């Protein structure tokens, strides 16, 4: 059998299995690529929030990355929780030396408001990480933190995208999931504009949506799709996952990464 496309996630572990590395690898399996991981931090996390977080040493992050890239190779990389300025800068350097598209999800806080990135790392995200991104996928809070642009409506998303593109990513997806009404995201590279609209799913079990969208984009890029097609297909995947998100624990449950496999009768 020919090897599937290879995708690497550089992110934190979510012990509850809904977000972080776990969401990324499940998404990659569902989309038919070979998922690999560089762990940056371990979180003790469940449906109620993040109870603890421990960062890995920068040498451990670099060594995992080199092990994967130097032997196996990657067709796309996705980054998520990077925790500190030191890790952000180390990962940005590694990405700069890798010939594969990079999807940067500038994870700032968890859905419950727990910090997953030190405030002191924001400047490294702006000046080191975003310039090496092929696609950056901030949510509205992250856009506010990084650019100062507050988004309260769809027209504001254009200003937010322009401010994000100033930092140098080739494309940006402004995720409007936190607005009311349809779930609308804006994908742009400054010249093309694509508005991706999906009906809002009336489901509170949405843990992991951001990680899932970014990993799906990386998976479709690794399969050779151009950015607009990859983001459109990823939006369809995350919308389906959200529609069948399920209750676990006493709080916010995860999206269903296996929905497409089950729909196709394979699960
Ligand atoms: N209730 C919903 N129904 C449909 N799509 C949604 C819903 N909530 C979010 N989305 C979509 O999910 C994707 C992730 O967006 P979101 O704004 O939730 O990202 P995030 O904040 O990084 O994730 P999280 O809220 O899990 O931390 C986007 O494509 C967004 O439009
Ligand atoms: C380890 C880790 N990484 C990222 C997130 C954000 O998750 P989401 O996909 O809900 O934005 C999280 N809660 N935990």
ipTM of the complex: 0.96
Nearest to 14 by CA among 259, 203, 252: 252
Residue 130 Cα to ligand 1 midpoint, Å, equals 21
The rounded distance, in Å, linking the Cα atoms of 111 and 48 is: 10
Closest atom of ligand 1 to CA, residue 200: 3
113 CB neighbour count, 10 Å cutoff: 9
Going residue by residue through the chain, which has 267 residues, state the pLDDT in tens, using 9 for 90 and above. 899 999 999 999 999 999 999 999 999 999 999 999 999 999 999 999 999 999 999 999 999 999 999 999 999 999 999 999 999 999 999 999 999 999 999 999 888 888 999 999 999 999 999 999 999 999 999 999 999 999 999 899 999 999 999 999 999 999 999 898 999 999 999 999 999 999 999 999 999 999 999 999 999 999 999 999 999 999 999 999 999 999 999 999 999 999 988 876 554
Atom number, ligand 1, closest to the C-alpha of residue 109? 27
What angle do the packed helices 85-96 and 58-67 form, to 10 degrees?
A: 20
Name the closest-CA residue to atom 19, ligand 1: 210
How many C-alpha atoms does 84 have within 13 Å on its Cβ side? 12
Instruction: Write the CB contacts of 254 (distance below 8 Å, at least 6 apart in sequence).
Output: 16, 17, 18, 19, 23, 205, 207, 208, 245, 246, 248
Q: Answer yes or no: pTM beyond 0.95.
A: yes
Distance CA(213)–CA(231), nearest Å, equals 8
- Separation of 19 CA from ligand 2 center, angstroms? 5
| 242 Cβ closer than 6 Å to some ligand 1 atom | yes
Residue nearest to atom 14 of ligand 2 (CA): 20
* Ligand 1 mean position, distance from CA 143 (Å): 14
């Amino acid at each position: 059998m020919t090897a599937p496309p290879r995708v690497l996630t550089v992110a934190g572990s979510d012990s509850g299995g809904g977000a972080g590395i776990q969401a990324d690898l499940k998404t990659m399996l569902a989309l038919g690529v070979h998922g690999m991981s560089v762990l940056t931090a371990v979180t003790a996390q469940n449906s109620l929030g993040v109870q603890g977080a421990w960062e890995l040493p920068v040498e451990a992050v670099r060594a995992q990355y080199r092990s994967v890239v130097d032997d196996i190779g990657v067709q796309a990389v996705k980054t998520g929780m990077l925790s500190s300025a030191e890790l952000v800068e180390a990962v940005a350097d590694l990405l700069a030396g890798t010939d594969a598209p990079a999807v940067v999800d500038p994870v700032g806080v968890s859905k419950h408001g727990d910090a997953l990135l030190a405030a002191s790392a924001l400047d490294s995200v702006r000046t080191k990480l975003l310039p090496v991104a092929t696609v950056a996928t901030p949510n509205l809070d992250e856009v506010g933190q990084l650019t100062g642009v507050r988004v309260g409506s769809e027209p504001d998303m254009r200003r937010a995208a322009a401010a994000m593109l100033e930092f140098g990513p080739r494309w940006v997806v402004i995720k409007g999931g936190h607005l009311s009404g349809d779930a609308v995201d804006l994908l742009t590279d400054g010249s093309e504009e694509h508005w991706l609209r999906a009906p809002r799913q009336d489901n509170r079990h949405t843990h992991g949506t951001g990680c899932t969208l970014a990993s799906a984009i990386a998976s479709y890029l690794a399969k050779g799709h151009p950015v607009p097609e990859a983001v459109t297909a990823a939006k369809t995947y995350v919308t389906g996952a959200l529609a069948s998100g399920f209750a676990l624990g006493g709080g916010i449950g995860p999206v269903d990464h296996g929905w497409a496999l089950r729909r196709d009768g394979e699960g």
